[in-house]
Amino acid sequence: MRRIVELGNAQLVECGAGGLSVREIARGLGMVSSAVYRYVRSRDELLTLLIVDAYGDLADAVDGALAEASDAPRERFTALAESMAQWAIAHPERWTLLYGTPVSGYDAPAESTNADGTRVMARMLAIAAAADADAAADAGASAGRGQGVHVTPDVRALLDAHLEEFGVESDAMAAMRAVTAWSSLVGIISAHVFRQLGADAAAIGEQILGSQTELLADLVIGR
Amino acid sequence: MRRIVELGNAQLVECGAGGLSVREIARGLGMVSSAVYRYVRSRDELLTLLIVDAYGDLADAVDGALAEASDAPRERFTALAESMAQWAIAHPERWTLLYGTPVSGYDAPAESTNADGTRVMARMLAIAAAADADAAADAGASAGRGQGVHVTPDVRALLDAHLEEFGVESDAMAAMRAVTAWSSLVGIISAHVFRQLGADAAAIGEQILGSQTELLADLVIGR
DNA sequence: AGACGTCAAGAGCAGTGCTCTCGGAATATG
DNA sequence: CATATTCCGAGAGCACTGCTCTTGACGTCT
């Protein structure tokens, strides 16, 4: 069973998500294809297995980086962003699995996925909340930074629900900044991993990522 | 030939990129699969055809929206972002084709793709440049907004090269904000199309997108 | 009229996911 | 200890995929 996800990951790095073949895994295991179906219901389930494995691995990497960071929100954000980017660069196919196209025609199995998939998001919420608290303490008058952004009641309710779910105390505005920063971060890293900015940009990708991360930090933390 | 990409697009919407089958297209055309190979070298080439078609369509949509917008940078940014999002929502599979995982194991055919693929990016650069010019005019002292962000010489050179390529006059800092906003925008839209924020967020996705777009506007335009 | 190029058909190869049945081995049960 | 039951892998097979090769029918141009 664990050998299956091992072989699956190995096959992922050399063929990509689309090239994942249960027959090939069976060959690696030295058995016939049908035998694999004892352990894994379908190719999609195998994919799901690899996805939760990757989510967990990524979240572990981020948590590791955050454990070594100070309490300063900006430093924590940078640690989160950089560890996420480094993980993506180290495992491009697994990143692809998580934040690329949902492969072929299989519906995201939210229930098995969300548990590990939201760990990083929760961290981001906490960081934005801390930054917000700091800003309010520094200058009581400047509270409400970014208030020009309109948030509908529905969205506010959803954000509050998630804040409670993750045990973070903050207001919806900070949460909005957090999820925007998170989506943006995913977009920026994907642009790098998928080489969407062109070949010459890929050569100095890390430097570009660095500047972009700073800009996003301004968005969540303020300046 | 044009019928092939028509059928390809039609098949895309109901089966996704992975389910694209030249045999199925042949069936739709009323001929046998091998006949299709007269017109299209391989499945990957067909995919490429669909990709450039989608890039062009998206850029047309954005240009159309920009044509009806005023000269105010913030309004132009919003028009760009919203038209892009609307296109993505209207054609999720084609969006997936462009900004999701590069399908299976085929290398992005940059030469055929970039021409149309960078049109939106060029628009974004122009908007950021205009915003920068406006800000400098409003208050000469506040020029250099966002100067705290560090940009390495290599990155600066690349940005300057692209600015010249697209005929936009501005400094590298504004360009950096533009590409960051662009990547972020792609990330935010993808998060919506791929439902990465959860099922309950998907229900009010447009409202969330609205707030996120405003936040990104702050990033490019300032406040 | 004859040659040439275009087009589609059909068979076929290698590969896929997946389902079924059938034996052998381990394990629990009397 | 013997028996029943469950587990696990093998193998055959179905329907499908992309793709190649050969064959034959048209139309067009010299």
Could you tell me the distance in Å between the CA of residue A60 and the C1' of nucleotide D4?
Answer: 47
Tell me if A152 and B212 make a contact (CB, 8 A cut-off): no
The answer to whether residues B56 and B114 touch, using CB atoms and an 8 Å cutoff, is no
pLDDT band per the 50, 70, 90 thresholds, residue B25 = very high
Instruction: Please tell me the distance from the alpha carbon of residue B179 to that of residue A195, in angstroms, as a whole number.
Output: 13
Tell me the C-alpha distance between A30 and A53, whole Å.
Answer: 23
Question: Are A132 and A171 within 8 A, CB to CB?
Answer: yes
pLDDT beyond 80 at B37: yes
| Size (chain A), residues | 223
Closest CA to A123 of A171, A173, A181: A181
Burial class of residue A29 (count of CB atoms within 10 Å of its CB; 0-12, 13-18, 19+): middle
Select from A98, A119, A149, A183 the residue whose CB has the most chain B CBs within 10 Å, as the one to mutate to test that interface: A183
Q: pLDDT confidence of B209, banded at 50, 70, 90?
A: very high
CB-count burial class (<10 Å; 0-12, 13-18, 19+) for A223: exposed
More confident residue, B50 or A138: B50
pLDDT (tens digit per residue) in B163-197: 999 999 999 999 999 999 999 999 999 999 988 88
For residue B177 the two structure tokens come to: 């904000």
- Indicate whether B15 pLDDT > 70: yes
Q: Which residues of chain A fall below pLDDT 70?
A: 102-112, 139-148
Contact A175, A125 (CB under 8 A): yes
Name all domains of chain A by residue range, CATH numbers in brackets.
1-40 (1.10.10.60), 56-221 (1.10.357.10)
User: Which has the higher per-residue pLDDT, B143 or B156?
Assistant: B156
Tokens of B183: 């990547």
> So what's the pLDDT on residue A106?
60
Gap from B52 CA to C4 C1', in Å? 35
| B207 closest CB neighbour out of A154, A180, A185 | A154
pLDDT of residue A17: 83
| Span B201-215, average pLDDT | 95
Question: Is the model's pLDDT at B145 over the cut of 60?
Answer: no
Q: What is the average pLDDT across B104-131?
A: 80
Neighbours of B202 (CB within 10 A): 15
User: According to the model, what pLDDT value does residue A70 have?
Assistant: 96
Q: Cβ of A33 < 7 Å from strand C? A: yes
Mean pLDDT over B76-97 rounds to 96
